[in-house]
Amino acid sequence: MLNWAIFAAPLSCASILVWFALLEDTTIVAQQPLTPEQRVPAWAKDAIFYQIFPERFRNGDPSNDPTKDSLEFPGVVPDNWSVTPWTDDWYSRADWEKQSGDNFYENGVFHRRYGGDLQGVIDKLDYLADLGINTIYFNPVFYARSMHKYDGNSFHHIDPYFGPDPQGDFDLMANETADPTTWQWTKADQLFLSLLKQAHERGLRVIIDGVFNHTGRDFWAFADIVKNQSQSPYQDWYIVESFDDPNTDQNEFKYAGWWGVDTLPEFANNAAGDDLHPKPKAYVFAATRRWMDPNGDGDPSDGIDGWRLDVANEVPNKFWQDWNTLVRELNPEAFTVAEIWDDAGDYLADCGFSSSMNYHGFAYPVKGFLVDGNLPASEFAKQLTERLQAHAPEVRVAMQNLMDSHDTDRLASMIVNAGKHQPYMNAHRFDYDVGERVSPRNFKPYDVTRPTDQHRQIQRLVTLFQIAYVGAPMFYYGTEAGMDGADDPDDRMPMVWDDLTYQPRSHGPFGSVDPPQPITFDKELHAYYQSSLKLRSESEALRQGNINVIATDDEAKTIVFTRSVKNETMLIGINRGDQPASIEIPTKGLRRSMQVTPVLSSHESGEFTRERGRGLVTLPPLSGQIWRVGKPTRGKAKK
């Protein structure tokens, strides 16, 4: 049975009045739309993001592992449930999982817990810094029952099972009321603040996931509605369709859940429908202040560096305008990124966001050209250019250029499955996360075998383009270690670490795998990501330079472009074809006196040559090359 009592501590009339009085002080009025310079902090232009799914990243403290009672639906889970060993074969099933039926995806896998926690992240901060990323994006870290934690039961507390003392945290939380002055700092909260401090000491910034259009059913205001129905002081926070009639045997209580899911009750909007209801809005503002300036001294250096906002377009724009204004008042250098899957140019400007997850302007065309290999190079260049121009120059360099996330199949598995199935083409998405075809959960032909060397060659080519193109690269945890996986839940496997020994993949979702496939930390691939991110960090041209596509060849599946700032030019060649390719390029800006030096190749090295005033780029099959263009070094070379 769900514990509706958490955060539903009895409220006196006085505490309710105090809370509601605070509403008058929480409205932020956005006087003018934020300019691109105000929306995008300078540091975001140099950001390299790394997305962490906390429950699956590292179990640093087994003493805080989740319990059966902590699950989303403990009543349907067998009594022999236990935390799943980190290194188990993903598609193997424990005895308690088999009781749900023969289908791997039926129920059991969604009730798994692996014990990932904040201590595990702290233990691996040096790994992240050494990899070369400089900004961590956390999927939700707030208290919630699910594995994914998009069903938040609080926005002002870190999940107790991510901290060192879950029961102690719950005991402390139970004494709180709706009045923010009663909110305590739990052990999990304090550990998160310690993580922030240690990350900042390493030059790593941290942004966290905010889910402000729905909550979980244990959220304290919703729990009070369940208990007190129409007498609850929070009854107008949610979209309640009907309250229970105590004079009948049946329960008439009905409410709107996000996408019809009853475990995700939706916040109500205001009467005009152009803003979030003022009461939950005030709560979100209070929680925002808490994490952006934890000690409330006006100095945000002890807080988070920004937010990623889930299903942002399902919350009215007026809310985001006020909220983004508040965020910049708390920290002018804060970064806010919206989850938007389509053209986001006008939306970001209207709402005041810094950026969006760049599915539309990056992942879709890259899937068509580099992953699938069926989008013509000239059309690829055209789509990139048009979608880039939807944003102000300051925003372009901060767009989160990702290929995969917790909402898609992983890049390696996209590549494995490219061209294997009858196309299900979407005009601008190129089968990217379209329909149910990205997982064997609903599309049995999806191939879950491990990538081959050629698949890895394409992965490195995609990565080279990712660090060379305009925008901030973002990588999903484990991509650099060689992880693969179909869409949810397979994209959320436990991180593969080099200090752990994993069972080989001897099972698939529908049977055995023969021969078994090894699961190991891919040191060679990791080293490639490390060198790629190092180059990105060292090159101002790759981070902030103008882009100029100087040649495309549809038949050869080749594109050549430059990234340039005042004192540096990078020349980039990409060959998606399965044959060697040579493409002539204009030499304007590439004077004979300049050196063209190779600095990174995805596979075999390409060549740049000059003949009779022409420039020629030659690239091996399925490969990319970056050259640095500059004046020759004067004097004798050092030995």
pLDDT for 196-247, tens place per residue? 999 999 999 999 999 999 999 999 999 999 999 999 999 999 999 999 999 9
**Same domain, yes or no, for 278 and 220?**
yes
AA letter at 196: L
Among 21-25, 70-74, 367-371, whose mean pLDDT is lowest?
21-25
Residue 88 lies in a domain: no
pLDDT of residue 5: 36
Examine the domain organization and report whether 460 and 572 are in the same domain: no
Q: What is the mean pLDDT of residues 525-549?
A: 97
106 falls within a domain: no
For residues 64-82, average pLDDT: 96
Rounded to whole angstroms, how far apart are CA atoms 399 and 381?
17
478 lies in the same domain as 491: yes
Q: Are residues 429 and 563 in the same domain?
A: no
Domain boundary among 308, 332, 357: 357
Residue 553 has, within 13 A of its CA and on its CB side, a CA count of: 21
Q: Do 347 and 382 belong together in one domain?
A: no
Domain boundary among 357, 390, 423: 357
Q: Could you tell me the pTM of the whole model? A: 0.94
pLDDT in tens, 454-480: 999 999 999 999 999 999 999 999 999
Q: Which two tokens stand for residue 121?
A: 């992240």
Sort 116 into a burial class: Cβ within 10 Å, 0-12 / 13-18 / 19+. Answer: buried
Specify whether 153 is located in the same domain as 222.
yes
Cβ neighbours, 10 Å, residue 422: 7
* 506, burial (CB in 10 Å: exposed 0-12, middle 13-18, buried 19+): middle
Q: On the CB side of 140, how many CA atoms lie within 13 Å of its CA?
A: 25
Note the pLDDT of residue 9.
39
- 323-339 burial, b at 16+ Cβ within 10 Å, e below that, comes to bbbbbbebbeebbbbbb
For helices 187-201 and 166-173, angle between their N-to-C axes, nearest 10 degrees: 110
Query: Which of 538, 567, 597 marks a domain boundary?
Result: 538
User: What residues form DSSP beta bridges with 596?
Assistant: 629
Can you list the alpha helix ranges (DSSP code H) found in 331-390? Answer: 345-351, 364-366, 377-388
Instruction: Give pLDDT, residue 33.
Output: 85
Instruction: Please give the distance of CA 180 from its chain centroid, rounded to a whole number.
Output: 29
**End-to-end Cα spacing for the chain:** 73
Are both 312 and 253 inside the same structural domain? yes
94-106 tens-digit pLDDT: 999 998 778 899 8
Residue 98 lies in a domain: no
pLDDT at 23: 46
The Cα-based distances of 408 to 412, 413, 489 in angstroms read 11, 10, 10
Residues 425, 347 share a domain: no
The pLDDT score that the predictor gives to residue 31 is 58
3 state DSSP class of 319? helix
Give yes or no: residues 220 and 335 share one domain. yes
Whether residue 368 contacts residue 403, with contact meaning beta carbons closer than 8 Å, is answered with no
CA distance 164 to 389: 47
Which residues form the domain of 226?
1-29+47-66+113-357
Query: Does residue 90 lie within any of the structural domains?
Result: no
Does 406 fall in a domain?
A: yes
pLDDT confidence band for 486 (50 / 70 / 90):
very high
Number of domains making up the chain: 3
Per DSSP, helices labelled H in 48-184 are: 95-98, 118-123, 125-131, 166-173
Q: How far, in Å, CA of 606 to CA of 583, rounded?
A: 11
Confidence band of 17 (pLDDT split at 50, 70, 90): very low
Query: What would the mean pLDDT of 560-586 be, rounded to a whole number?
Result: 96
What is the domain-level CATH number for residue 52?
3.20.20.80
The yes-or-no verdict on residue 22 having pLDDT over 60 is no
Taking each helix axis as running N to C, give the angle between helix 278-292 and helix 13-22, from 0 to 180 degrees, rounded to the nearest 10: 80
Q: Is residue 635 part of a domain?
A: no
pLDDT confidence of residue 6: 36
The average confidence (pLDDT) of the chain is: 92
Contacts of 56 (CB under 8 A, 6+ apart): 114, 116, 477, 492, 493, 494, 495
- Maximal CA-CA distance, the chain: 95
Which residue in the block uniquely carries the two structure tokens 């049995």?
444
CATH number of the CATH domain containing 610: 2.60.40.1180
Task: Write the burial class of residue 79 (CB in 10 Å: 0-12 exposed, 13-18 middle, 19+ buried).
Answer: exposed
What's the rounded Cα separation, in Å, for the pair 135 and 439? 29
Examine residue 637 and state whether it is found in any structural domain, yes or no: no
For residue 420, being part of any structural domain is answered with yes
pLDDT score at 484: 98
pLDDT of residue 244: 96
pLDDT tens profile 114-161: 999 999 999 999 999 999 999 999 999 999 999 999 999 999 999 999
Whether residue 449 sits in one domain with residue 363? yes
Spatial distance between the Cα atoms of 85 and 67, rounded to a whole number of angstroms: 14
Query: Do 490 and 475 share a structural domain?
Result: yes
Pair 297, 171 in one domain: yes
Provide the percentage of residues in the chain whose pLDDT is more than 90: 85
Alpha-carbon distance values, 161 to 64, 80, 221, 446, 542 (Å): 6, 20, 22, 34, 40
